[in-house]
Amino acid sequence: MWHQKTITLKPRNRGFHLITRDIISQLPELQEINIGMLNIFIQHTSASLTINENADPTVRDDFESHFNRFVPENEPYYRHTLEGSDDMPAHIKSSILGASLTIPITEGRLNMGTWQGVYLCEHRNHGGARRLVLTLQGE
Amino acid sequence: MWHQKTITLKPRNRGFHLITRDIISQLPELQEINIGMLNIFIQHTSASLTINENADPTVRDDFESHFNRFVPENEPYYRHTLEGSDDMPAHIKSSILGASLTIPITEGRLNMGTWQGVYLCEHRNHGGARRLVLTLQGE
Amino acid sequence: MWHQKTITLKPRNRGFHLITRDIISQLPELQEINIGMLNIFIQHTSASLTINENADPTVRDDFESHFNRFVPENEPYYRHTLEGSDDMPAHIKSSILGASLTIPITEGRLNMGTWQGVYLCEHRNHGGARRLVLTLQGE
């Protein structure tokens, strides 16, 4: 069994955002799968996806603080600067974190750990709505 | 053909550990697959998985040294500090490296390169046993 | 439907290279898949794969500049140094970026965003030809 859909996430501020529910609520078909996989793919190069702690919101704040120091704006060696000082760091952050996630499905549910959630990592100041391709497969 | 199981790895010290054999030894079903994929998913947010050199153990030592400098403890901007100074860096390292791996299967074996092995990246000082969900599919 | 093949990319200079066409041109079977996934797996530990901007080549130059500062050569704490000063940084870069990509397929095409392309990230000065395992599945 295969099922695929594209969803659009509402625009979010620059930072790390928990979106597990936004995804699951779009996938009633999950419940029909006993063993399978979900692939979540973001169709952008300045936002990304990761899995991390779903409880304390300061974890997500610390991600934003760290990545801003880790991949600074306005480095003198950046040449791709026409789209704004947040653009080239956004591309680098998105490749470090990645454009897709693959999550196992077990008995109709995403089989993540208790403390795991899916993050949208919005690296632009004004990134706008973001498109995700969700691909489910299983039996 | 789908096959899925959860395994628990014994506790390991903070650092990078080769676990290719721990995984393959739990998957006799691999041999029945001619073309397929193995997904390995770690159900934690302070340990991660990567693929790297399987020979010289100093590579794994250098990973630990580098990631400790790259994502330091006790940064003044961390707000998520209640669980210890190794906790927030562990979350960041786990997102940089990732929670899952997808490896092709060819003629009954993981089709990695000669020098590739699977690493458990234990980012906590006392992380304890770690759970992996192994999902095999193929024909 | 499953289809798998190994391809060899021509040697490239150290840096980030757009290889979307090298991959698609080897996969006429893509057109037969209505919904599916492509996994691209690199069988090396000093080169990697990522998805990023496919238009302005200065993005790829800035990736090379940034990763060279981010993961420097000749750090005094590296112990794995016998294979040259570019070797240990190459291993670290490859784990940060990752050894594989999973891309959704929709109506016979890779369903990436308009600005997304597949990069070969060559982290060695003389990395030589690189082998990729391409695994297609779908219906």
Q: What is the pLDDT of residue C9?
A: 98
B114 to chain A, minimum CA–CA distance in Å? 25
| pLDDT score for A28 | 97
Instruction: Give which of C101, C94, C108 is closest to C135, Cα–Cα.
Output: C101
Question: Identity (one letter) of the amino acid at B120?
Answer: L
Query: pLDDT (tens digit, 9 = 90+) per residue, C52-73?
Result: 999 999 999 999 999 999 999 9
Note the pLDDT of residue C132: 98
Q: Are A56 and B92 within 8 A, CB to CB?
A: no
Q: Which pLDDT score, from 0 to 100, does residue A137 have?
A: 98
Tell me the backbone φ, ψ of residue A116, rounded to 5 degrees: -95, 140
| DSSP labels, A12-63 | --SEEEE-HHHHHTT-GGGGG-SEEEEEEEE--SSEEEEEEESS-HHHHHHH
Model confidence at C126, pLDDT cuts 50, 70, 90, reads: very high
Q: Check if the beta carbon of residue C115 is closer than 8 Å to that of residue A45.
A: yes
Residue C79: Cβ within 10 Å count: 13
Which one of C50, C68, C69, C120 makes the best mutation probe of the A interface by having the most chain A beta carbons within 10 Å?
C50
Query: Which pLDDT does position C3 carry in this prediction?
Result: 98
pLDDT at C26: 97
The model's pLDDT over A80-120, given as tens digits with 9 standing for 90+, comes to 999 999 999 999 999 999 999 999 999 999 999 999 999 99
Q: Which CATH architecture has domain A2-71+83-138?
A: Sandwich (2.60)
Task: With beta carbons under 8 A apart, name residues in chain B contacting C78.
Answer: 62, 65-66
Please state, for a pLDDT cut of 90, what percent of chain A lies above it. Answer: 100
Note the pLDDT of residue C39: 98
Per-residue pLDDT of B28-47, as tens digits, reads 999 999 999 999 999 999 99
Sorting pLDDT into bands at 50, 70 and 90, what band is B123? very high
pLDDT at B3: 98
Confidence band for C1, pLDDT divided at 50, 70 and 90: very high
Given this model, what pLDDT does residue C69 score? 97
Of the candidates C26, C1, C3, the one whose C-alpha atom is nearest the C-alpha of residue C135 is C3
Ranges of chain A with pLDDT below 70: none
Instruction: Measure the N-to-C terminal CA separation of chain B; round to a whole number of Å.
Output: 6
How do the domains of chain B map onto residue ranges? 2-138
Q: Which CATH number fits domain B2-138: 1.20.120.80, 2.60.120.460, 2.40.40.20, 3.40.50.2300?
A: 2.60.120.460
Which of A53, A64, A118 is the best substitution to test chain B (most B C-beta atoms within 10 A)?
A53
Taking alpha carbons only, the member of C125, C134, C126, C118 closest to residue C52 is C118
**For residue C31, what are the CA distances in angstroms to A92, B51, B137, C106, C136?**
32, 31, 22, 9, 11
Q: What is the pLDDT of residue A49?
A: 98
Could you read off the pLDDT of C36-50 as tens digits, one per residue?
A: 999 999 999 999 999
Q: Which residues of A touch B (CB under 8 A)?
A: 35-37, 50-53, 56, 58-59, 61-63, 65-66, 69-70, 96-98, 101-104, 106, 111-116, 119, 137-139
Output the pLDDT for position A67: 98
ipTM: 0.97
* Torsion sign over Cα A61, A66, A69, A74: negative
pLDDT band at C114 (very low <50, low <70, confident <90, very high): very high
C62 with A39: Cβ contact below 8 A: no
pLDDT at A101: 98
What is the model's pLDDT at position A70?
96
pLDDT at C136: 98
Position B95 scores a pLDDT of 98
Q: Say which DSSP state B79 is in.
A: -
Give the residue numbers in C contacting B (CB under 8 Å), as ranges.
2-4, 39, 41-45, 70-71, 75, 77-80, 88, 91-92, 94-96, 98-100, 102, 131, 133, 135, 137
Pairing mode, strands C15-18 and C35-42: unpaired
How much is the pLDDT for A12? 98
pLDDT for A96 equals 98
Residue type, B20: T
- Looking at chain A, the number of H-run helices and the number of E-run strands are 3, 8
* Percentage with pLDDT > 90 across chain C: 100
Mean pLDDT confidence for B82-95: 97
Look at residue A90 in the predicted model and tell me its pLDDT.
98
